[in-house]
Amino acid sequence: MDELLSLGLSNAKQALLSGCSAGGLAALIHCDDFREMLPKDVNVKCLSDAGFFLNEKDIAGIPTFERFYEDVVNLQGAAKSLKKDCTSRLEPYKCFFPEEFISNIKTPVFLVNPGYDFWQIQNVLIPDSADPHGSWLRCKLNITLCNSKQLEVLEDFRKSLLKKLDGFQQNPEGGMFIISCFSHCQTWMTGTWHAPYSPKIDNKTIAEAVGEWYFNRKAAKYIDCPYPCNPTCSHFSLT
C-alpha cells in the first residue's frame, strides 16, 4: 500500500477498495484501515464481491467451515489483523465471518453476492465430507440439475444470507446487489459486470447499481426474488 500511495494514490480524489471471494472478505476486514490511509476529503468506499461467507452448519449438521476458519486463524496468526471490536467479544476465528463485524465498519460498503453462491454451496453447505454418497454432486455443480427437495435446502441457505443482512439493509450508506444466480464472483468479468446480456435486478446491472451507490445518486439496495425467477441469470455449470 505504501508503494501505491507513493505512485499517486495519496493524491486521489476518489478511491474504491474492492476484492473478489477471499479478496472480498479482505476488503471488508481492511476497509476502515484503507480509509485512514487517505486524506479525509477523498471519497473512499469499499466493495466486496462474493466475500460475505456465512457461518452455517453443513447439511450433516457439522460446522465444517467454522472449523476451517479456526484452523486458518491459528495457522496464520491472523487474530492481530482482525477487527478488535470483534475479537474483544468473540473467538478470533469467528471474526472472519462478516456477519460478526459488518455493522462496525464505518466506511461505506457495497455487497455483491449471489443468493446461490456455488463456492459456498460446495464448501460451506455441502462439502464432500457431508455428502459421502455423492447424492448432491450433480446439484452442487449445476443448479438446474437439483431436485425440488435440494432446491428447498439451497433456498434456506439464501434466506440465511438475507437474514444476516437485515441490519445492513438499514444502513443508509450501504449498498447491495443480491442476485439469484448460481455464480460466485461477478464484478471481474464484463459479462456479469456490465454488458447487454449481464444479469440484472430491476433492469439494473451490477455496474449501474454500484455507480448509483458510489456517487450517491440514490439508495442502491437490490435483492432478487428466489430461483428460478430471474431470466437474466446465466447460471454457471461446473459439470
Residue 18 DSSP label: E
Catalytic residue among 184, 198, 224, 235: 184
What are the helix (H) ranges across 133-224?
A: 137-141, 148-164, 166-169, 190-193, 206-214
Q: Using an 8 Å Cβ cutoff, are 34 and 4 in contact?
A: no
Any catalytic annotation for residue 117?
Answer: yes
Catalytic residue among 117, 183, 198, 235: 117
* CA distance linking residue 198 with residue 136, whole number of Å: 28
Cell reading at 102: 459488518
Catalytic residue among 18, 21, 180, 183: 21
Any catalytic annotation for residue 237?
Answer: no
Q: Report CA-CA distances (Å) from 11 to 5, 14, 19, 36, 125.
A: 8, 9, 22, 14, 44
Q: Using an 8 Å Cβ cutoff, are 44 and 9 in contact?
A: no
Phi and psi torsions of 232, nearest 5°: -85, -10
Active site members: 21, 117, 184
